[in-house]
Amino acid sequence: MKKRVVITGLGVVAPNGVGIPAFSEAIKKGISGIKFFPELRDLNFSCQLGAMPIISEEKKREYLSDLQLRNFNSSGILYGVIAGMDALKDAKIEVAKPEDEPLWDLGIIFGTGTSGIEKFREAIYRIDDKNVRRLGSTSVAQTMTSGVSAYLGGLIGAGNMVTANSSACATGTEALLMGYEHIVNGKAKYMLCGSTSDSGPYIWGGFDAMKVTTYKYNDSPGEVAGPMSAEASGFVPGSGAGAYLLESLESAQERGATIYAEILGGAVNNGGQRGGGSMSAPNSKAIQKCITDALKNSDVTGEEIDYINGHLTATIKDPDEIENWSIALNRNGDEFPYINSLKGMVGHCLAACGSIEIVSAILQLHEGFIFPNVNCENLHPEISYLIASEKIPTKFQKKSLQIIAKASFGFGDVNACAIFKKN
């Protein structure tokens, strides 16, 4: 018998709000976390805007000890630890005490793209300086991809599978679906899932070089053309982390836990870098198949979807994504579900985008609202040709939602789509 899986805890470290209350308020009001960074200007970046969560020294010390913070230089691990521990706390699950056995029924799948890139930079300088012996003991832990899941595993005392997945911008959505499968198959009772991404020029530089970021708003960070707008000219790179505590329905009911949503199912696939797909561009057929497979696995039809939390990056690919949703759901014009993208407010948080956006989607489902798709006064004509403009609210709307879809697509032609139901 397949287990049913629900979400009982959320945590988020986003450029426009750290912690669920601040983030929830920010997305309702359409508050942007996008800012101008003089450092990026000084480094000759085309896009001198970025989106970065603000974490005080005091806040750091709530989560990590002085010893753990000694020579600590990994923003991604910090964000992931805060989001992950917040999700656990929100679910009212206690960590294992030092003298206790590990929590055998609790696992972690927390992904990232690159870990501790600033720490890596420090290490590379030391090594090239023939001073490898001066690296200290934490270079490995901070720069390994599984650094974030390993830090969380130690703080919590997790005794089930503890790992980090990596699938570019689909990482967070993939992590959720991997955790879901683990519980469905009865291998764990709780799975802490999510994803994180480092901040700063060394993680963002490669995207700047590819010209997928926007160079047009360096003087006006509040006006960056949003996802789906006619003027969309590229994304603003972001960073942060999102986390969710997944739990079997029976366990959540036994504990009397708050249930944010049920995960009905989902699908992860790959376009094979064929049929128009490449390292950086998606194979549309694969995206459509990912969405239809997700619906099938969740036992729902396209008609039942009330709302879509899109990947929608504010690049020239936005109209293609809308077309793929429209074909996969077999809906268009007035019949199309509501859709929005968080990236107008937090930028493209790369490996963390899926998880931060899932948190935003679950909050909308749980509380019954749709956040504004900001800076999209002029809808892209190819999008308004496909779907009715009122399906993309640019103002906050109260709206009762029952079944919603979230998809993320990433480099390597990876796709992931998850379906959630209000509990």
Partner 1 sequence: MTSEEIYRKLEPIIKTYLPEDISAKEINRSSDLTRELNINSAHLVDIILDIEDVFNIEFKNEDMEQLRNVNDAILLIQQKISI
Which part of the chain contacts partner 1 (CB under 8 A), choosing from 131-139, 198-206, 330-338, 395-403?
131-139
Give whichever of 44 and 137 is closer to partner 1, judged by the CB atom.
Answer: 137
Token pair listed for 271:
């376009």
Residue at 311: amino acid letter: H
Question: Are 188 and 161 contacting, i.e. CB atoms less than 8 angstroms apart?
Answer: yes
- Spatial distance between the Cα atoms of 252 and 6, rounded to a whole number of angstroms: 8
Give whichever of 71 and 163 is closer to partner 1, judged by the CB atom.
Answer: 71
Which part of the chain contacts partner 1 (CB under 8 A), choosing from 2-10, 133-141, 169-177, 399-407?
133-141
* CB of 137 vs partner 1, minimal distance in Å: 4
Residue at 155: amino acid letter: L
Which part of the chain contacts partner 1 (CB under 8 A), choosing from 130-138, 300-308, 375-383, 398-406?
130-138
* CB of 217 vs partner 1, minimal distance in Å: 44
Question: Are 336 and 309 contacting, i.e. CB atoms less than 8 angstroms apart?
Answer: no
* CB of 202 vs partner 1, minimal distance in Å: 24
Which residue of 19, 102, 136, 157 would you call a contact of partner 1, by CB under 8 A?
Answer: 136
Give whichever of 155 and 419 is closer to partner 1, judged by the CB atom.
Answer: 155
* CB of 243 vs partner 1, minimal distance in Å: 24
Mapping DSSP onto H, E and C, the string for the chain reads CCCCEEEEEEEEEECCEECHHHHHHHHHHCCCCEEECHHHHHCCCCCCEEECCCCCHHHHHHHCCHHHHCCCCCHHHHHHHHHHHHHHHHCCCCCCCCCCCCECCEEEEEEECCCCHHHHHHHHHHHHCCCHHHCCCCHHHHHCCCHHHHHHHHHHCECCCEECCCCHHHHHHHHHHHHHHHHHCCCCCEEEEEEEECCCHHHHHHHHHCCCECCCCCCCHHHCCCCCECCCCCECEECEEEEEEEEEHHHHHHHCCCCCEEEEEEEEEECCCCCCCCCCCCCHHHHHHHHHHHHHHHCCCHHHCCEEECCCCCCCCHHHHHHHHHHHHCCCECCCCEEECCHHHHCECHHHHHHHHHHHHHHHHHHCEECCCCCCCCECHHHHHHECHHHCCCCCEECCCCEEEEEEEECCCEEEEEEEECC
Give whichever of 140 and 184 is closer to partner 1, judged by the CB atom.
Answer: 140
Which residue of 56, 57, 137, 334 would you call a contact of partner 1, by CB under 8 A?
Answer: 137
* CB of 57 vs partner 1, minimal distance in Å: 17
Give whichever of 134 and 211 is closer to partner 1, judged by the CB atom.
Answer: 134
Q: Which of residues 63-122 bind partner 1 (CB under 8 A)?
A: 65-67, 70-71, 98
Give whichever of 67 and 279 is closer to partner 1, judged by the CB atom.
Answer: 67
* CB of 68 vs partner 1, minimal distance in Å: 10
Give whichever of 126 and 187 is closer to partner 1, judged by the CB atom.
Answer: 126
Which part of the chain contacts partner 1 (CB under 8 A), choosing from 33-41, 76-84, 135-143, 290-298?
135-143
**Residue 157 is a binding residue for partner 1 (CB under 8 A):** no
Total binding residues for partner 1 by CB under 8 A? Answer: 10
Residue partners of 28: CB distance under 8 A and separation at least 6: 369, 371, 396
* CB of 146 vs partner 1, minimal distance in Å: 16
Token pair listed for 202:
């060394």
* CB of 79 vs partner 1, minimal distance in Å: 23
Give whichever of 131 and 253 is closer to partner 1, judged by the CB atom.
Answer: 131
Which part of the chain contacts partner 1 (CB under 8 A), choosing from 60-68, 236-244, 274-282, 292-300?
60-68
Give whichever of 126 and 216 is closer to partner 1, judged by the CB atom.
Answer: 126
Give whichever of 102 and 136 is closer to partner 1, judged by the CB atom.
Answer: 136
- Spatial distance between the Cα atoms of 381 and 239, rounded to a whole number of angstroms: 30
Which part of the chain contacts partner 1 (CB under 8 A), choosing from 32-40, 62-70, 324-332, 405-413?
62-70
Which part of the chain contacts partner 1 (CB under 8 A), choosing from 59-67, 103-111, 355-363, 366-374?
59-67
Q: For residue 229, is it left (φ>0), alpha (ψ between -120 and 50) or beta? A: beta
Give whichever of 61 and 134 is closer to partner 1, judged by the CB atom.
Answer: 134
Binding site for partner 1 (CB under 8 A): 65-67, 70-71, 98, 134, 136-138
